[in-house]
């Protein structure tokens, strides 16, 4: 294929990365998936490993990578508090050193590069919903700061490379995303609730459950990411990507119990340090720039995610 793009996806064996790899392969691209498998899993790449246009490389991007590509999607980083707090120094390294290495690669080969940033750059927000021009309320020395501040520093690096080296960058701030291929032990609220419900175990709620989150289904997220990469060079972001439908955590737990038919009871524990009380994206910019709106409602997305975990648990 003459116009086939060579695309690098770091963190490509992870939850979001594996879905992105599939989308890019379906579009006819040549895809190199790079992952050190700290949280990513080869099982997420089922059906891709034998595709002639797909290649997997086990590699840690805190070390340089010397390849030739046309586009880079930088998704490498543990995204759940359990995993990123388990090795906070490495979490900071992958955000800072990893970004520097990927930006250096993009500069050398003149590739367009995407950064998967996060709603965590807003910290525990005092503005609701959160627009892109909100500077955030982040504790720079807390247990979550290796991820929060790491992602903020990564954004700084991306925009400095853009200004100093005229690099073509795209930055998306991803809000809570869920769907098949989530890690079963990532400690995130959707996967936690579903697994606890399917196993008929008590569903753990931190705090009183009144804190809110907005949940975006993975297919909607991938559509937004690929649209952002296809925009003109003057569109850099950051752009919020998420679903603005807001739910209390206790409402989510009750919905999961209803959809699984579980007899699980709710148990309440203390709220972790710096856990945001509200999280909802302002996606007006995504609507204007990408002509994008999330399509999958929470009940439909939860049903698909529950089906995935039912199959996963049946093989354990």
Q: Would you please indicate which residues are annotated as catalytic (active-site) residues?
A: 147
Buried b / exposed e along 52-70 (16+ C-beta atoms within 10 A) = ebbebeebbbbeebeeebe
Query: Are the beta carbons of 199 and 265 closer than 8 angstroms?
Result: no
34: three-class secondary structure by DSSP: strand
Nearest CA among 4, 5, 63, 53 for reference residue 33: 53
Which residues lie below 8 Å from residue 313, measured CB to CB, with a gap of 6+? 184, 195, 198, 199
Nearest CA among 159, 162, 140, 190 for reference residue 15: 190
**∠ at Cα 78 (47, 221), nearest 5°?**
60
């Amino acid at each position: 294929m003459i116009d086939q793009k060579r695309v690098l996806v770091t963190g490509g064996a992870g939850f979001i990365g594996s879905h992105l790899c599939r989308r890019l392969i379906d579009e006819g691209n040549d895809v190199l998936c790079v992952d050190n498998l700290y949280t990513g899993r080869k099982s997420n790449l089922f059906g891709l490993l034998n595709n002639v246009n797909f290649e997997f490389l086990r590699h840690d991007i805190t070390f340089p990578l010397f390849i030739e590509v046309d586009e880079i999607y930088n998704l490498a980083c543990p995204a759940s508090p359990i995993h990123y707090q388990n090795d906070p120094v490495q979490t900071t390294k992958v955000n800072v050193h990893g970004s520097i290495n990927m930006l250096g690669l993009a500069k050398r080969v003149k590739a367009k590069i995407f950064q998967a940033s996060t709603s965590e750059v807003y910290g525990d927000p005092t503005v609701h919903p959160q627009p892109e021009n909100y500077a955030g309320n982040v504790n720079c020395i807390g247990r979550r700061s290796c991820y929060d501040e790491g992602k903020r520093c990564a954004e700084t690096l991306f925009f400095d490379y853009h200004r100093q080296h005229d690099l073509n960058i795209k930055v998306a701030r991803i809000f809570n995303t869920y769907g098949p291929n989530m890690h079963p032990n990532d400690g995130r609220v959707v996967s936690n609730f579903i697994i606890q419900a399917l196993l008929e175990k008590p569903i753990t709620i931190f705090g009183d459950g009144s804190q809110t989150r907005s949940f975006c289904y993975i297919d909607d997220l991938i559509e937004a990411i690929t649209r952002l990469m296809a925009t003109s060079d003057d569109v850099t972001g950051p752009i919020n990507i998420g679903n603005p439908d807001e739910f209390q955590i206790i409402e989510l737990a009750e919905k999961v119990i209803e959809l699984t038919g579980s007899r699980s009871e709710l148990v309440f524990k203390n709220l972790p340090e710096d856990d945001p009380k509200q999280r909802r994206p302002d996606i007006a910019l995504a609507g204007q720039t990408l002509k994008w709106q999330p399509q999958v409602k929470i009940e439909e997305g939860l049903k698909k995610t529950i089906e995935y975990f039912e199959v996963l648990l049946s093989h354990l």
